[in-house]
A = this chain, B = another copy of it.
Amino acid sequence: MNEGWQIPTIAVAVDLVVLTVRSEMLQVLLVERGVEPYQGRLALPGGFLSSEHEDIDSAASRELSEETGLDAGRLHLEQLGAYGAPDRDPRQRVLTVAYLAIVPNLPEPIAGGDARSAQWTPVTKLGRRRNALAFDHSRILADGVERARHRMEYTTLATAFCPAHFTIADLRRVYEIVWGETLDPRNFHRKVKGVADFLVPTGEMTSKHGGRPAALFRRGTAEILHPAILRGGAN
C-alpha cells in the first residue's frame, strides 16, 4: 500500500432486493425513478449512505424500514455483495452494496417513507431481459433470487416469507412458488416435521379452506436444515 499518493474516493450506495410471496407469485419491491438517469424506469429501492459515518448494514436496515414500514430487526436481511463496475452509473462512479431482504406478505400498500411509489412486481413479469430495470439492477435481482432459492435448500429461510403463524401447506407453497416446482404435499409434510427445531406447533388450527383444518406452527430455533430439502426431483 503506497500511502503517499492520493487515494481515490467514490460514492457508496445500498440497494435492496426485497422479496415476498403475494398472489401466488414471487414478487420484488421496485420503485419508479423520478430523476435522471433512467427517469421513469423501475429500479431496486436504495440510496446513498446518509452520512460519512453510517454503517452499510445500518443503511440497508434503514432503507428497508423506510420502504416497508416494518421493523427491519425482525426481517431477514443479508448482504448479497458489492457491485462496482466503473460505468454502472453514468453520472459518476457509484459502488453499491446489495442486500437481500425477505418479508412476509404485507397488508398491501407499502407507504414508503419518501415520495417514491414503491410497488410489488412479479419477478417473472420482468423476464430475463437484462435491461428490465435501471442500472445493473436486473443482474442484482437475478443474483438475489438465486441466493434465496439456494438458501431455502439448507436453511430455514422459507419461514421468513411466512407470517408469525402458518401451516405446513403455507410453507410448502412458498417453496413451490419460489422454486417454480411442485412438491408432494405428503412427503413435504413428513420431511419438515422431521427436522428438529424447524417448526413449533402453536396448538391452534385454521378453519378457512374447504378441507380439513390444518395445524398452525411458528418458526423454531433451527437455522440450518438437516437433512436439506433439495430442488430438482420432486420431494
Are A55 and B95 in contact, CB atoms less than 8 angstroms apart? no
Q: Is the CB of B35 within 8 A of A56?
A: no
Copies of this protein chain in the complex: 2
Q: A11-B8, A48-B8, A49-B8 are in contact. Are A55 and B1 (CB under 8 A)?
A: no
Residue from B10, B48, B49, B56 within 8 A of A82 (CB atoms): B56
Chain A interface, >50% SS class: loop
Contact with B along A153-167 (1 / 0, CB 8 A): 000000000000000
A81-B84 contact in complex given A8-B52, A9-B12, A53-B93, C-beta closer than 8 Å:
no
- Binary contact track A53-74/B, C-beta < 8 Å → 1, others 0: 1111100000000000000000
Q: Is A47 an interface position by the 8 A CB rule? A: yes
Expressed in whole angstroms, the Cα–Cα distance for A47 and B47 within the complex equals: 26
Would you list which residues of chain A between 23 and 71 have a CB under 8 Å from chain B? 35, 46-49, 51-57
Q: Chain B contacts of A82 at CB under 8 A?
A: 56, 79, 81-82, 97
Closest B residue to A3 by CB, please name it.
B35
7 A-B contact pairs sorted by A residue (CB < 8 Å)? A1-B35, A8-B52, A10-B10, A79-B82, A84-B97, A95-B95, A95-B97
The 4 closest A-B pairs by CB, nearest first: A56-B84, A9-B9, A82-B82, A8-B52
